Structure 1
Amino acid sequence: MPCKNEAIRMGYANLQQCVADLEKTGQLIRIAEPVDANLEAAEIHRRVYAAGGPALLFDNVVDCQFPMVSNLFGTMDRARYIFRDALKHVETLISLKKDPTTLLRSPLKAPGVAGTLLSMRPALRRSGPVMQNETSISKLPQLKCWPDDGGAFITLPQVYTEHPDRPGYVNSNLGMYRVQLGGNQYKKDRQVGLHYQIHRSIGFHHSAALEKGERLKVNIFVGGPPSMTLAAVMPLPDGIPEVAFAGALSRRAVRMVRQKDAPMICAEADFCITGTVAAEELPEGPFGDHLGYYSLVHDFPVVDVHKVYHRSDAIWPFTVVGRPPQEDTVFGELIHELTGPAIPTVLPGVKAVHAVDEAGVHPLLLAIGNERYVPYATKRQPQELLTNANAILGQGQLSLAKYLFIAAHQDNPNLDINDVAAFFGHMLERIDLTRDLHFQTRTTIDTLDYTGTGLNEGSKLIVAAAGERIRSLPTEVPSDLTLPPGFSSPCVCLPGVLAITAPKWSTASPGSDPIPQQFCDALSVEAVINRFPLVVLVDDAEFCARSFGNFLWVTFTRSNPAADVYGIGAFTEQKHWGFRGSLVIDARLKSHMAPPLECDPKVTEKVDRLFSKSGALHGLA
């Protein structure tokens, strides 16, 4: 057992140390009230997270022996606190990747780097606390977050695999791929669902195993060092094992149990499910996901369960995803804080990128790039920006972006990519709608995005803007604005953006509703609506305009560029499509899309009582 101050000096060896420290410092509270893992725990979590509240330790989980903890990473301050002893060293490592000569020029500016590098090599063990006990899948906390979820899920899994041809941690992968514990057609206690998306490294391991005619061996960790949780969601390049990065994050080697003919096990994990991934697939889902909708039932791989281990003092950590922001928003912010400085190294010419959380992350990506191709030109236009954009869309998970808005650094060196509203204003003031829209059709999009033509199938739109301002952005609805019959309630979402309530989607197939084209055809390029460079057709304009977050969520989670982007005064010239009036995005809910998430009214009412003045949770939210 480490000395009393070792957790502070070196980071946490396990979840128990983290929970104890957060409780001691007033950042975690215990809930003694009986709480059901079926919907109730998630509803409590959402409210406390929204209030910026503490981490929650549920001591009394209905019909379950294991306590549960959530909201560990619920605020950036708490996340930074958890990794406080490692962040500066990890940032130094990343800066060295950006400019390795820093260490040669000023070695004293990189203190602790040697120790951090040493901690990246796992400490091999013959056994560990996680292997003290065995249980079964049905005895684990059966967490269900949304009413129509297909069963209980692990929401903070760490799925560990090793390359079948090159076993060992060096060629391992640790990823956060959701795991369904029961329901659907899974055999009770013998099978769990494993949902991994395209572009995930586990897919390469699975393919290699199938090519050898073997099952992929897999270990699913829950809990353990918090650094393992963050490492599982880090977009690390090939060749950097997440387990090694977890060691750097905690400044201590991750203790791993070596297995004969099987992947290693995290010794300090709270739980470990071991098994193999078969070639067969079974229906998985629905699952209330981070876009704010249900991901529907689809066939995904199945893990045949061999063993379920747990430590004697095991705690089950969980999070809740849904319409952002949620706790995973903090993960995104922390990842950006760590990796942002390395962007120019990975993508030369790109100054910064920002995946917009309130739009569901993958649907909307912002970028700032250089525009230096023709420095002597009297009028700047997107050129190098398009090279930058294609590089971004060819890079790892960034390739899943659906809308990419990219601005030229030279137009405003002080433009803040994290100020999304100001970034939109900058773009809308400069975009030339006859020239600056570039589509990629029939390509891949996020597995969880149902706006396209099928699973993983959709399109992308690059919007590039460079040069001087070409328009002023209106901030009020023009008094002389007229709309075609059936369209109503125009509302300004932000300068230059107008939301309009349109007739409901009325057809079965994507892109076949004539309503948006009829809207555009009814308006001339001289119409006053064209003062707004962006018009959004929605089901409820007042809701869309009520907040900037509503605008981002509705517009970019409910549209597929190739099918849903229209324009007033559209034309095609040498296969380039543009328009002389407003850009029009059809962001109505469509029949092929997944339904938005809604809470169970009965659970809401019960939790309301818990948070009332006489309730056990009063004052937490």
Structure 2
Amino acid sequence: MGYRNLSECAFDLEKKGMLVRVDAELDPHLEIGCVQRRVYEAGGPALLFANVRGSRFPMLGNLFGTTERTRYIFRDSLRVIEAMVKMKISPKEAAADFPSLLKAIAGAYRLLPSGKRFSPVLKNICTLKDLPQLVSWPMDGGAFVTLPLVYTENPASRGFRSSNLGMYRVQISGNEYLENEAGLHYQIHRGIGVHHREALRRGEPLPVNIFIGGAPALTVAAVMPLPEGMPELAFAGVLGGRRIGYGRTPNGLPVPSEADFCISGHIYGNETKPEGPFGDHIGYYSLRHDFPVMKVDAVYHRDNAVYPFTSVGRPPQEDTSFGEFIHELTGGLIPEVLPGVKAVHAVDAAGVHPLLFAVGSERYAPYEDNPRPKELLTQANAVLGQGQLSLAKYLFISNYFDNEELDINDAEAFLVHMLERADWRRDLHFQTSTTIDTLDYSGSGLNEGSKLVIAACGEKRRELPTEIKNGLNLPDGFSEPRVAMPGVLVIKGTKADAPRGMEDERMHAFVRRFDAEHPINRFPLIIIADDSEFTARNLSNLLWVSFTRSNPASDVYGIEAETVSKHFGCRGSLVIDARIKPHHAPALEMDKDVQKRVDSLFAKGGVLAGLG
């Protein structure tokens, strides 16, 4: 059976040598987050900080820091999940496999939460300021709950079946928040938004419960891309290997009995306050914006409560391992949900939402010797119509039949495959003035930007160069060309200063300098960056700079470009302006004094020596 609560999990991991207890006093202001990120980078253990400055509650970090540890935590239920997925993909085959059928039936039973007369989480009451005041990055606007499980129900149809459990950033101090207020940063395309809108329509406050801790399955369930109609609390029961017991708070909402904390209250009307900044998973700060305010009625906690947390930043981070585990659970359902699509991969190094890879199936005209993308475009639209995948900016989609062995998780091999085949005159498909991720500041406004689908299929069209031959004779203001990978040239450009959402005349001058016969076109993709050495240093830097710092509609250019019947294409190289723009959010950097203190903890003789 799975763990009932977080303490059971921590105790077991410590026995198995997968968790280290840190008894030295550490500060949740910058220090603890910095330590967690460093241990994650080293592939280290989970960390229980037993002596947190300013709080009586211990903090647990890096719990899901490796996929191996995550698999261990859910070892008792993985086969049940596999059986349920198999039942969905191939019911006949699953029914013929009697052991798998029994596992699926057992899993279905655990979907049902069960009411409890006594809930440990409701035994004690504290305040928001009693919680560990975690601040991960120097410019953060205050303390944040970084693993909050935000639970709401649709006011029009109360109950688990119309519930939503999501992980939305929660600010609990700083800015203009009062002691009994929390900021709820929920992004577009989130279930809580539907519930909030219905509450506004009815003129009612929206009850909200924020769970912290509890069974580890709750945390994973809150970020799973579940089928519509399956409550996250129900899936947590399957994943955790036991039904989720629950009590109720005075606002009428359930709370998992074994949670460590519950922040309970309401959203009243459409009141907002500035939330942020916050160092986020794309590698930049999300800046201050107005978001809904939750009025907190009470903060409940169990005896010996443990406060789980994570610290996000430029990938890879703990949420990377989290995402890998979730893909293991759900990847097999992709062809079921998206017919013809073999696989989808959100590229972590590019901040997840900015860049998607997909493998589709071009089947519309199998009799053609060298087909052009047709069904791939239908499948690309289907991908961009799915949940959070709809927030992507760039989608590269290949044809399965061109290379059935192509590994979608090997970013360089996938890009090489695409660049060998892409025809920039036909394969670029833009969506302008649309929605992008709330955390992405490359677009024309908050939640506003554009998308580019690159769909390529057929025989290999070109050999990709790996070195620069002969002088390129670059225009003034462009210098230091470097080859980042086969077929990709990175060039340093002058500082960008074009208005937000507008094209840059200097970029137009750059592409006008060359015709389609110029040797620079041996490189099908050119990236203009502030620092070409940094960008070309490794694939991770290339993906991060190129796709987090560009908005397709305003930052994609082409040599010998033309627009025919509103279709943009080019005969020469495709050029992406990935310089930092004046409206971009600042990249994350750690405070140097804090970094030195943390370094001393890991030095020989330090309390964390050997962990990072």
Structure-2-length-normalised TM-score = 0.99
1:473-512 per-position Cα deviation (integer Å, ceiling 9, x unaligned): 0001123322112211111111000000000112343324
Moved over 4 A (4+): none
- Which residue is 2:220 aligned to? 230
- 2: distance between equivalents of 1:424 and 1:509? 29
**Can you list the C-alpha shifts for 1:571-607, whole angstroms capped at 9, x where unaligned?**
1111111000000000000001100000001100111
Q: How does 1:322-333 map to 2 (within 5 A)?
A: 322-333=313-324
- Cα drift, residue 273 of structure 1: 0.3
Deviation at 1:377, TM superposition (A): 1.2
SS in 1 for 2:198: helix
Distance 1:167 1:563 in 2: 45
Output the amino acid matched with 2:408: I
Q: Which amino acid aligns with 1:540?
A: D
Choose which of 198, 201, 205 in structure 2 pairs with 1:211. 201
Out of 555, 569, 573, the residue aligned to residue 560 of structure 2 is 569
Q: Which amino acid aligns with 1:505?
A: A
Matches within 5 A, 1:69-84: 69-84=60-75
Q: Give the AA of the match of 1:59.
A: A
CA contact (8 A) 1:115 1:251 kept: no
Query: 1:215-238 deviations in whole A, cap 9, x for unaligned?
Result: 110000000000000001111122
Alignment of 1:107-186 (within 5 A): 107-186=98-177
What's the CA shift for 1:165? 1.7
1:346-398 CA distances to partner (integer Å, 9 max, x unpaired)? 00011100000010000000000000101111221100000000011111111
After superposition, residues 274-285 of structure 1 pair within 5 angstroms as 274-278=264-268, 279-285=270-276
User: CA offset at residue 540 of structure 1?
Assistant: 0.3
Does structure 2 retain, via aligned residues, the 8 Å contact 1:223–1:315? yes
Q: Please say if 1:197 is aligned against 2:173.
A: no
In the alignment, which residue of structure 2 is the partner of 1:3? Answer: none
1:252 to 215, 222, 242: 242
Deviation at 1:114, TM superposition (A): 1.5
1:424 aligned to which of 411, 415, 437: 415
Q: Deviations over 1:392-447 (max 9, x none)?
A: 11111111110000000010011111111100000000000111000000000000
Q: Which position in structure 1 is the counterpart of 2:279?
A: 288
TM-score, length-scaled by structure 1: 0.97
Question: For residue 4 of structure 1, what is the aligned residue in structure 2?
Answer: none
Q: Partners in 1 of 2:76 and 2:411 — Cα distance?
A: 31
Aligned to 1:5: none
% identical equivalent positions: 58
Deviation digits for residues 8-60 of structure 1, max 9, x if unmatched?
xx110000100000000000001011100000000101110000000000001
Cα deviation per residue 1:143-171 (whole Å; 9 max; x = unaligned)?
00000000000000000111112211121
Output the CA distance in 2 between the equivalents of 1:259 and 1:276. Answer: 12
Secondary structure (helix, strand or coil) at the match of 2:342 reads strand
Paired residues in the alignment total 611
Q: Which amino acid aligns with 1:163?
A: N
Deviation string, structure 1 residues 126-158 (Cα, Å, up to 9, x no partner) = 331111110000111000000000000000000
Quick one: distance in 1 between partners of 2:118 and 2:186? 29
Distance 1:287 1:11 in 2: 34
The answer as to whether partners of 2:83 and 2:94 remain within 8 angstroms in 1 is: no
1:453 counterpart residue number: 444
Provide the rounded CA distance (Å) in 1 between the counterparts of 2:105 and 2:566: 55
8 Å Cα contact 1:503/1:515 also seen in 2: no
Task: Give SS of 1:112's match.
Answer: helix
Query: Structure 1: which 5+ runs fail to align?
Result: 1-9
Asked if 1 retains the 8 angstrom alpha-carbon contact of 2:80 and 2:100, the reply is no
1:160-203, CA deviations, whole angstroms, 9 ceiling, x for partnerless residues? 11111221112111100000001111112x10000001111111
Residue 595 and residue 261 in structure 1: after superposition, are their counterparts in 2 closer, same or farther (change >3 A)?
Answer: closer
- Inter-CA distance 195–120: structure 2 relative to 1 (3 Å threshold): same
In structure 2, distance between residues paired with 1:508 and 1:402: 20
| Structure 1 letter corresponding to 2:258 | E
Distance in 1 (CA, whole Å) between partners of 2:513 and 2:289 is 40
- Distance across 2 between alignment mates of 1:126 and 1:497: 63
Greater shift in the superposed pair: 46-55 or 96-105: 96-105
Q: What stretches of structure 2 of length at least 5 have no aligned partner?
A: none
Distance 1:509 1:17 in 2: 51
Contact 1:358 1:553 (C-alpha < 8 Å) held by counterparts? yes
Report the RMSD for the aligned CA atoms in angstroms: 1.0
Aligned partners of 2:121 and 2:259 also within 8 Å: yes
Aligned 8 A contact 1:370 1:385 in 2: yes
Q: Kindly indicate whether the alpha-carbon contact (under 8 Å) linking 1:126 and 1:258 is maintained by their aligned counterparts in 2.
A: no
Alignment partners' CA distance in 1, 2:541 and 2:306: 36
Residue of structure 2 aligned with 1:539, choices 518, 526, 530? 530
CA distance in 2, matches of 1:371, 1:399: 22
Aligned counterparts, 1:206-605, within 5 A: 206-259=196-249, 262-278=252-268, 279-605=270-596
Aligned partners of 1:215 and 1:276 also within 8 Å:
yes
